[in-house]
Structure 1
Amino acid sequence: MLANHAEPELGIHLRSLVVLLPDPEPHTSIMGYVGGEHPTDWKVTDAPDKYIELLRKSIIGIEIDIDRLEGKFKMSQEMGKGDREGVASGFGKLQSHVAQQIGCIVKQRSDEKDQ
């Protein structure tokens, strides 16, 4: 994620090209895909051929070629000063190291906005 700390608002922009996949063959390779780090006990190829063919007819495949993805860092700085202070304080009171770090970031971003 790209961050622009000078901008107070959140913005995420995705620019891509979407292509319809007319050939049904690639669909078989994506049916049942859950990602490389999420193993599955079942594979599409375990199903009967008739079932796979039925699935294949119901799938419209697309390919998304991501050209650029941009985002901006946001930590409540779009809120009013009182709200920002409350958010920072609330996170600071939680019994979690991560929450306390978030509270510090919100406070820091709030202080930057007030300058």
Structure 2
Amino acid sequence: MYMPKHFEETRTEALHELIRTYPFATVVTHATGGLTANHLPFELVDGVLHGHVARGNELAQQDGAEVLLVFQGPDGYISPNWYPSKHETGREVPTWNYAVVHVHGRLRVIDDAAWLRRLLETLTDHHEAGQPQPWKITDAPDDHIEKSLRAIVGLEVAVERIEGKFKLNQNHPARNRAGVIAGLRQRDGDGDAELAALMAQQEQAS
């Protein structure tokens, strides 16, 4: 990944927070026919990523494969009109702000019903937490859950290398970054509030 120094994010807690907040990853592997990409959620547990796929998914046959997981945080178009410096010099252009985390590791395929059930309970409890009446695995008949477990395999990726790129106008003066945060909040489109919040957090951390 192209990584200008001012956009490099090395804080482990910031990288893990993005993964937990945006757990839906693009999983890139090199299969017989070339590069392939799959898309699925992961749970980060003690520095290890856990997920699952249908047995028919090509990932289920790639135990030991080298993988790249891409976690995409908030992103959005940035108008030069939001920069105070643009109104003074005109020497600004549009850009796109975003935050991504790349995880490199080896894929471990797990065919263990008890392990899978624990994973599904963890995932369900996590993602149902905000519901008025959270759904639990025990809400479904046992035979239905057992049938579902037989149709999937688990995936585990131990993190061998992790890199983050948080492109949030760090190459601009503070007043321009403040202008972007204000512009995003005013526009309030899809993901704008999240991107503005991440930029504000970055300002506090710097």
Give TM-score, length-normalised by structure 1: 0.51
Distance 1:65-1:71 versus aligned 2 partners, 3 A rule: same
Instruction: Give the alignment partner of residue 143 of structure 2, picking from 47, 50, 61.
Output: 50
Q: C-alpha deviations, 1:38-71, integer Å up to 9, x for none?
A: 5162211232111111111111111121222102
Instruction: Give the alignment partner of residue 71 of structure 1, picking from 139, 152, 164.
Output: 164
Distance 1:65-1:35 versus aligned 2 partners, 3 A rule: farther
| Stretches of structure 2 lacking an aligned partner (at least 5 in a row) | 9-98, 171-175, 189-194, 200-206
Report the RMSD for the aligned CA atoms in angstroms.
4.2
Q: Highest CA radius of gyration, 1 or 2? A: 1
Distance 1:63-1:36 versus aligned 2 partners, 3 A rule: same
Matched residue SS, 1:5: helix
Instruction: Give the alignment partner of residue 31 of structure 1, picking from 101, 120, 128.
Output: 120
Count of residues in Structure 1 that have an aligned counterpart in Structure 2 = 92
Distance 2:148 2:155 in 1: 15
Distance 1:17 1:50 in 2: 33
Distance 2:7 2:118 in 1: 44
Distance 1:90-1:62 versus aligned 2 partners, 3 A rule: closer
Identity %: 30
8 Å Cα contact 2:125/2:136 also seen in 1 = no
Distance 1:63-1:91 versus aligned 2 partners, 3 A rule: closer
Kindly report which structure 2 residues correspond to 1:1-115, keeping only aligned pairs within 5 A, or say none: 4-5=5-6, 12-32=101-121, 33-34=123-124, 36=126, 38-39=128-129, 41-75=134-168, 95=186
Structure scoring higher RCO (CA < 8 A, sep ≥ 6) equals 1
Distance 1:63 1:73 in 2: 26
Q: Which has the higher strand share?
A: 2
